[in-house]
Amino acid sequence: MILKSIKTLIFCSFIICVSCKDNTPENTKKTMSDNVLIQEWTGPYDGVPAFDKMSVAAVKPAMEEAMALNLAEIDSIANNEEPPTFENTIVAMERAGKPLGRVFAYYGIMSSNVSTPEFRTVQAELAPKLSDFRSKISQNEKLFKRIKTVYEDALEHPLEDQAQRVVELTYKQFEMNGANLDAEKKKRYAEINKELSSLYTDFGNNILHDEENYITYLTEDQLGGLADGFIKSAAKIATDKGEDGKYAITNTRSSIDPFLTYSTHRELRKQVWENYYSRGDNGDEFDNNEIIVQILKLRKERVGLMGYDNYAAWRLQDRMAKTPENAMDLMMAVWPASIARVQEEVQDMQTVANELGDNITIAPWDYRYYAEKVRKKKYDLDSDEVKQYLQLDKLTEAMFFVAGELFNYNFTPVPDGSVPVFQEDVKVWEVTDKDSGKHIGLWYLDPYARQGKRSGAWATTYRSSSSFDGDTNVLASNNSNFVKPAPGEAVLVSWDDAITFFHEFGHALHFFSADVKYPTLNGGVRDYTEFQSQLLERWLSTDKVINTYLVHYKTGEPIPASLVEKIKKASTFNEGFNTTEYLASALIDMKIHLADPEHMDVDTFERETLDALGMPKELPMRHRTPQFSHVFSGEGYATAYYGYMWADVLTSDAAEAFKESEGGFYDKEVAKKLVKYLFAPRNAMDPAEAYKKFRGRDAKIEALMKDRGFPIK
C-alpha cells in the first residue's frame, strides 16, 4: 500500500507543482518544444494528461527540457535583485516547475503501471541526471539565502497560517537537504545523492524482474483446492504468456495469497512461497543484498555530513514520532502481544493439521492454508464463501456511497474515450459536490495486475489542489493488482483485499478534500498520512455498506446476517499473523538504519535481528529486506515504515469517536469535523494539532490494542 503522490513530489516537492492553469512565464512557454509530455494539458475538465499519446521515446528529451526550464525559473528567483519577500521567493517557487510536473505525471505511469525494458533503460539513464538537477536547487546558495531571510523575518513577523506553514516547511526541507553545509560537504552530498538515485532504480528494477520471471505453471492435476474463478484467471494468464493449457501463478501478492490459502499441494505451496519471498535474494545479477549495503553506507555518510549519528535520527525529526526511540517504543509496546498471539494461532493450526492426519509441522507456506481451516473450525467462516459477496464493482459503488455520506461527493462515470487513459482497463469518474454540483476532479481506477505493473496497491495524484493562483481541480488515481477475470466472470476479492481497496480510496479522498492554498502543503507527514486511509477501512464493516453492497455475484441476494455475524466475530482472527509480519518489517527497517553497515551481510542481519526479537519461525516479514521497495527503491518510507502503526493508533482512537456518537459511523457532526480537521488541511496544519482539534485530546494506544484483540495492560 503505497503511496501517494506522483514522482514529482518524491523528487522535488519543494519546487514542482502541477496546476490546471499554466502560469509559466511567457518567455519560458515560448522556448517549450512540441514534446507531448511537456505540453500544457488540454481537453475537458480543465485539461487532462494525454496518456494515449505518451511514448518511451519522448521521456528523456521531455525530462531534460523540463529540468532546464525549471532551473531557469529557479535562477530567476535566486538572482532577483529585489529584497527577498514571501511573494517574490516562496510564492514564486510554488509557481515554478509546472512543465516538469506534467512530465513526471507520465513518468510515474510508465514507471509503475506500464513499465517496459525500454523504459527501464531510460529510467536508469535519467536517475543520475535527476539527482544532479535536485542538487542544483537544494544547493543553490543564493536561493537558500533568500529563503532563510524570508524564514527569519516570518519568525519575527508571522504571516497568515498557511503562508507561515509553507515558509517553515520550505526552509526545513532545504536545511535537511544540506543547504547549510560548506562547499566541500555540499559537493560530497550531491555525489552521494547521485549514487543513491541509481541504486534505488536498480533495486526496484531487480524486484520487477523477479516478479515477472518467477512464474509457477500448474497442470490440471495440480489445481486441488483452488476456486473456479481463480483457475479461469490463471488459465487466461498462462495462455497470454504462451503456455496454453496450463495455469499461471504469478509472483505477485494478489496471485500467491489465494494460492497459499487454498492449494492442497504442499510442495507447490512451498515453491510459490519461496519464489515470492526470495525476490531480490537469488544470488544472481538481480540480487539486491549488495545494493542495500551500499545504500545504507551512503545514507549514513550523507547524514553524517550534517552531524547526525544515523539516518533515522535525521529522517524522523519532522515526523510525528520525532525520534527513533519514540517509534521503537510504540512498536515494542505491541510486539510482545503480537508474537504471543502467533503462538496461539500456530497451536490452533497444528491441532487442525493433526486432526486431519497431516503429518507436518506448520511451516511458513502452511500458515495461510491452515489458518483458513482454523477459521472454518472456530467461526464456521469460509473465506471463499465470503468472496462470493465481494464483487469489485459493488465495492466500488460502496466506496462512492461512503464518500457521499461523509464528504458529500458524487461519482459519475465519464463516457469511454472522452478522457485519455494509458491502458484499456482504466476507467474514469467525475467527482462533484452532491448539493451544488461543483466539479471537484476526476478519479481514475486501474484495477488489474499485468506485465510491467508493479505489485501492490497505491494512490496517485496527477494534479493536486491549490488556490493561490486560482482553484485547481484534482486528478487522482487508485491502482490495484487484482487478477483479471476471464471474460464474463465477476471480479471476486478477499476480505483483506476489500479492506485494501477502501484504504487506497481513503488516500484519493484525502486528495480530493484538500483545502490548501500552496502546493507544498499537499505533501504528507509520513507517519500521519496513512491515518486517513486506514480510518476509511472501517466503513467496509458498517451495516449500511454490508446490507446494501455485499450481494451474491450470481443471485444478487444480500449477504446473510448469519455470515455477517461470523465475519464480525472473526474480526480479530489471525491478527497475530497480520501484526507480526508487518511489525517485523517495520522493526528491521528501523534497526538496519541504526546499525553500522560496514561489513554488513544483509541476510545475516535480518535473521539474527529477528531471532533476537523472538520472531516466530512459522511466518516471514511482510517485506523481506531484499524486496523492501518502500525502503530501498526510494526514501519515502525509509525508517518510516513504523508509520502505519503510528497512524493505526490514531485510526483506532478516531474510530472510537464515531462509535461513541449518536449517528455512529455516519454521524454528520463527527463527519464534518473529520473532513475539516483530518482531511482538508493536508500538511497546512501540524498533524498533532489537527488531531487534537478533532478529538479534543491526544490519541491513546488502548483503542489499538482493543481493536486487535490484544490484552491491555
Tell me the pLDDT of the chain averaged across its residues.
Answer: 93
Residues 476/461, Cβ–Cβ less than 8 Å: yes
Residue 527's pLDDT is 87
SS3 461: strand
Q: What is the pLDDT of residue 712?
A: 85
CA–CA gap between residue 98 and residue 72 (Å, rounded): 13
Q: What are the phi and psi torsion angles at 431 (to 5°)?
A: -110, 125
Residue 12: band (very low, low, confident or very high) from pLDDT cuts 50, 70, 90: very low
Residue 51 vs residues 44, 106, 454, 461, 468: alpha-carbon distances, Å: 14, 7, 18, 14, 27
Q: How many residues does the chain have?
A: 713
453-496 residue pLDDT tens: 988 899 999 999 999 999 999 999 999 999 899 888 999 999 99
Q: Is the pLDDT of residue 145 over 80?
A: yes
The pTM is what?
0.86
How many whole angstroms separate alpha carbon 691 and alpha carbon 678?
Answer: 7
State the average pLDDT over residues 64-92.
98
Separation of alpha carbons 478 and 29, rounded Å: 32
DSSP assignment string, 55-79: -HHHHHHHHHHHHHHHHHHHHHHHT
CA distance 254 to 252: 6
Q: 645 Cβ partners below 8 Å, 6+ apart? A: 330, 331, 334, 582, 583, 586
The 10s digit of each residue's pLDDT in 383-428 is 899 999 999 999 999 999 999 999 999 999 999 999 999 999 999 9
pLDDT tens-digit series, residues 624-683? 999 999 999 999 899 999 999 999 999 999 999 999 999 999 999 999 999 999 999 999
Whole-number percent of the chain with pLDDT over 90: 91
Q: Got the DSSP string for 95-116?
A: H--HHHHHHHHHHHHHHHTS--
